[in-house]
Amino acid sequence: MASKHTIATRHAQGIRARFASRFLRSLLRVRRSSNRFGGSQSNDEGIGKRIRTDRIKIAAYAAMARAVGPRRTWSRALLFKLRNRARIHGVSRKRCLVSEKKRVTRNKVVAISREPSRADTLRKLVPGGDSMDTCVLLEETAHYIKCLATQVTVMQSIADRLLL
Amino acid sequence: MRPCSREMQGMNSLLNPSSQIPLQDLQNQQIQNSHFDPNLSSNEDFLEQMLSSCSWADPKSPWDLNPPTNLPFPTNNSSSSAKHRDLFNETPSSNSDSNNVGFRNSFDESVILASKLRQHQISCGNGAAVSDAAKMMLPQQLLMAVARGGLSLNDDIDGSLSQGGDGSIQGLFNGFGAGSMNGTDGASNQSMQHFNHPQARLAAVLQGGAMQSPNLGAHGAPATTAVMNQPQASGSNGGAPAQPRQRVRARRGQATDPHSIAERLRRERIAERMKALQELVPNANKTDKASMLDEIIDYVKFLQLQVKVLSMSRLGGAAAVAPLVADMSSEAGGDCIQANDNGGSLARTTNGNQTASTNDNSLTVTEHQVAKMMEEDMGTAMQYLQGKGLCLMPISLATAISTATCHNRTSGIINSHAHLHQSNGEGPTSPSMSVLTVQSMTMGNGGGDGVAKDAASVSKP
């Protein structure tokens, strides 16, 4: 089933359609899960919404990363991060922090204490940017921006359609 | 690169009576730089010292005791170069000759001329300064020794080169001028492979020295850079080759040093990536790389923030959205409009949300304003509404929405640009929606009717 889906969507109008289909499905999943747990959203004003917000956000990023596939460094890094986060959420919070830090420092380019240059800021923003040199970083940033923009447009149109 | 240029600089300073670089430094440099064979007789040392000293003498340098030597290159070059060309068994050299020829010529020339100079000096005792310079240039023997390695003194040429007196010194310069003329071909990389490293470097130095004349600077630089396998080529960034004095610089894009080539490749790749990014990012009119990077960073942050906001809008929680609104209005106000269309409208909508929620009076005022504007021009009215994060909507639709959303989750952000509806967008539950609807009906009947009628016809901006 998963393979069929990927094959079907691989060539379907590029990344936008792929992302849209994945995102919608994951959105439905989130809705169903939230409905199952909380009933309506007004149940828990603060935390429930936040959790759901995060879930939706994570679903969006995951859908985008999967739509892009493992071809890009940032998508691989993003998927890796999300998978670990999901796995670690199950285990415990404390362990999560520790292992995250370890993971991060392992991948990081040599840490020199200096004023964070622009490239470093960009590295923090782009997933998986720590282990890229400047040249690759710029390339990945370009692709990442493109995918983020399509993500935003799709989410926006979904929001529009949903509200009406 | 650095050592060589410094060494040349040092040599240059040696020519000046008031040398600034101490001899010690020079010696150290020489010892560092050179792995040459110092096995030379004193005579030859002297000769080559002269050679090297003369090679770096700038025509305008204050070699006071021999004013004739400070001849401008161009005037002498043409005549002497023709003469020198005849002397050599290679094909008559022009500027386009391969450096190979040029360098052979220059080597022969230099040695010959140096010998001439020496003879002249010994005979005339004229070159007092020259001798001083020669003595000072003792360390330079090492370099010359290398040059010697590939040269063969051609005594036959000596006679033909005899000019006597000061002319010999002049001849030296001329010879170097000729050599420089010969060696102006930029595509001399292959030729330099014939020479050893040190030889090549020396040749480069000689050529470079010979070409210190600003007139020949442009010509000289490519040849010298072609010769220089060491990082002597001071980067292809090197500005005008006609820079003052003995700094041999690579002309743009002419460096043959593998390091600088790799660097240049890297820089080019980065530049083209930046160009690609420029097209993606709005507000990309910045030419500066740093500001472009800033713009890119801001845009990525903005997009990520948009995703966050959109994921919140699914919930439609005003409480969740409100804290974002301040950020959006302040930070993304300018960006939104030029950036992603949807994003922009989203930001404006959220902005409108907050303003609407905080102040109902402002809403009525807005409505009156819009009504007035609609009488004049529909377009500006719509733009005004859009700027506020509102838009027009048939009342029937508004009621439909209010009823639809009252039991659904709280209506969050209703995107203004996609639909014709007038809403305050925020408003946690239906009562506010109905209030707004009522308001719109009482807005001003003239305007209100116009709204109702025109809503259908007004298209999405």
**Which chain B residues have a beta carbon less than 8 Å from that of A49?**
312, 315, 317, 319-320
Q: Least CA distance to B425: which residue of chain A?
A: A163
Report the pLDDT value the prediction gives residue A112, as an integer from 0 to 100.
63
* Selected residue of A138, A144, A147 to mutate for chain B interface (largest B Cβ count, 10 A): A138
* Interface confidence (ipTM) of the complex: 0.80
**Which chain A residues have a beta carbon less than 8 Å from that of B428?**
none
**Residue A152 sits at the chain B interface (C-beta within 8 Å):** yes
pLDDT at B299 over 50: yes
Distance CA(B422)–CA(B230), nearest Å, equals: 73
| B302 band by pLDDT with thresholds 50, 70 and 90 | very high
Q: Helix crossing, B42-56 with B99-124: angle to 10°?
A: 110
> B286 to chain A nearest CA, in Å?
15
Interface of B with A in 338-357 (CB under 8 A): 340, 342-343, 346
| B333 band by pLDDT with thresholds 50, 70 and 90 | very low
**Residue A32 sits at the chain B interface (C-beta within 8 Å):** no
Query: What is the mean predicted confidence (pLDDT) over B260-283?
Result: 89
- The model's pLDDT over B174-196, given as tens digits with 9 standing for 90+, comes to 444 444 444 444 444 444 444 44
CA dihedral of residues B15, B16, B21, B23 (deg, nearest 10): 50
Query: What is the mean predicted confidence (pLDDT) over A66-85?
Result: 85
- The model's pLDDT over B385-430, given as tens digits with 9 standing for 90+, comes to 666 677 667 777 777 877 776 655 444 444 444 444 444 444 444 4
* Among A136-145, B154-163, B201-210, B224-233, the range of highest mean pLDDT: A136-145
**Residue B262 sits at the chain A interface (C-beta within 8 Å):** no
- Return the domain boundaries, chain A: 2-31+48-93+116-163
**Which chain B residues have a beta carbon less than 8 Å from that of A23?**
none
CB contact under 8 A, B304 and A145: no
CB contact under 8 A, A153 and B290: no
CA dihedral of residues B277, B281, B283, B289 (deg, nearest 10): -30
Q: Output B104 or A87, whichever has higher pLDDT.
A: A87
pLDDT at A35 over 70: yes
Q: Least CA distance to B319: which residue of chain A?
A: A46
CB contact under 8 A, A163 and B415: yes
Beta-carbon pairs below 8 A across chains A and B: 127
pLDDT at B359 over 80: no
pLDDT at A127 over 70: yes
Question: Considering chain B, what is the average pLDDT of its residues?
Answer: 55
Give me the percent of chain A exceeding a pLDDT of 90.
Answer: 2
**Residue B407 sits at the chain A interface (C-beta within 8 Å):** no
CB contact under 8 A, A60 and B307: yes
- Tokens read off for A96: 């999560």
pLDDT at B335 over 80: no
pLDDT at A87 over 80: yes
Mention every residue, 6+ apart, whose C-beta is less than 8 A from residue A108: A130, A131
- The model's pLDDT over A44-58, given as tens digits with 9 standing for 90+, comes to 566 777 777 788 888
Measured CA angle at B33 (ends B132, B222), to 5 deg:
90
Measured CA angle at B221 (ends B219, B225), to 5 deg:
135
**Residue B317 sits at the chain A interface (C-beta within 8 Å):** yes
Query: What is the mean predicted confidence (pLDDT) over B262-272?
Result: 91
- The model's pLDDT over B208-266, given as tens digits with 9 standing for 90+, comes to 444 444 444 444 444 444 444 444 444 444 444 445 556 666 566 566 788 899 999 99
Interface of A with B in 44-103 (CB under 8 A): 45-46, 49-50, 52-54, 56-57, 60-61
Query: What is the mean predicted confidence (pLDDT) over B295-301?
Result: 90
Measured CA angle at B6 (ends B5, B7), to 5 deg:
90
Distance CA(B365)–CA(B350), nearest Å, equals: 19
* Selected residue of A145, A156, A161, A162 to mutate for chain B interface (largest B Cβ count, 10 A): A156
> B366 to chain A nearest CA, in Å?
24
Report the pLDDT value the prediction gives residue B316, as an integer from 0 to 100.
45
Interface of A with B in 103-122 (CB under 8 A): 118-119, 121-122
CB contact under 8 A, A118 and B290: yes
Q: What is the DSSP letter of B221?
A: H
**Residue B299 sits at the chain A interface (C-beta within 8 Å):** yes
pLDDT at A108 over 50: yes
| Element spanning B111, H or E | helix B99-124
Q: Where are the alpha helices (DSSP H) in B316-377?
A: 318-331, 333-338, 341-358, 360-376
- Among A17-21, B32-36, B416-420, the least confident range: B416-420
Interface of B with A in 6-45 (CB under 8 A): none
